[in-house]
């Protein structure tokens, strides 16, 4: 067999192995991306989040260990949520405090249940308590613009 034939076979085998490697690496990257959660971006339109504001407007008291926001999505993938919970221990990577009108970009993963309580006094001098939970997606990394 001519020597050039062996070189062509070796090159084609290396090429096929390279393609197979790239397919596996890209599949693992997609899996890792979905494991770490989703990304979002937009403009902050409400603080607290609209769901929490609605509950508080009807008399509920919501216990929130952090802040909640609602955004108008800009450049976010379809199906991205618009209301989020930011735990108190998560700080902006741009060192700016979130405010209405700011642009925000970040990553979210998991959900947090916010408990809202409504206490009513009945005519018989008894107390009636209603507890409702609101589920918000949890931000684990974000940055905001400078206003």
The DSSP secondary structure of the chain, one letter per residue, reads --HHHHHHHHHHHHHHHHHHHHHHHHHHHHHHHHHS-EEEEEEEEESS-HHHHHHHHTT-EEE-SEEEEEEEESSPPTT--SEEEEETT---TTS----TT-EEEEEEEEEEEEEEEEEEE-TTS-EEEEEEEEEEEEEEEEEE---
Whole-structure pTM value: 0.72
- Cα–Cα distance, 24 to 138 (Å, whole number): 30
Q: Residue 114: pLDDT band by 50, 70, 90 thresholds?
A: very high
Q: Is 23 left (phi over 0), alpha (psi -120 to 50) or beta?
A: alpha
What value does the CA radius of gyration of the chain take, rounded to a whole number of Å? Answer: 25
- Cα–Cα distance, 85 to 111 (Å, whole number): 8
What digits encode the pLDDT tens for the residues 21-67?
555 544 444 444 445 678 999 999 999 999 999 999 999 999 999 99
On average, the pLDDT of the chain sits at: 83
Place of tokens 């919501």: 62
What digits encode the pLDDT tens for the residues 115-124?
999 998 888 8
């Amino acid at each position: 067999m001519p020597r050039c034939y062996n070189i062509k076979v070796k090159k084609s085998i290396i090429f096929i192995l390279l393609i197979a490697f790239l397919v596996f690496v890209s599949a693992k990257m997609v899996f890792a991306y979905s494991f770490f959660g989703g990304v979002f971006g937009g403009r902050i339109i409400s603080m607290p989040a609209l769901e929490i504001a609605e509950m508080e407007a009807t008399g509920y008291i919501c216990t929130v260990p952090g802040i909640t926001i609602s955004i108008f999505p800009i450049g976010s993938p379809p199906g991205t949520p618009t209301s989020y919970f930011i735990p108190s221990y998560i700080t902006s990577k741009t060192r700016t405090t979130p405010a209405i009108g700011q642009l925000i970009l970040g990553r979210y993963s998991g959900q947090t249940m916010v408990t809202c309580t409504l206490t009513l006094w009945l005519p018989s001098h008894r107390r009636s308590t209603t507890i409702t939970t609101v589920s918000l997606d949890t931000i684990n990394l974000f940055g905001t613009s400078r206003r």
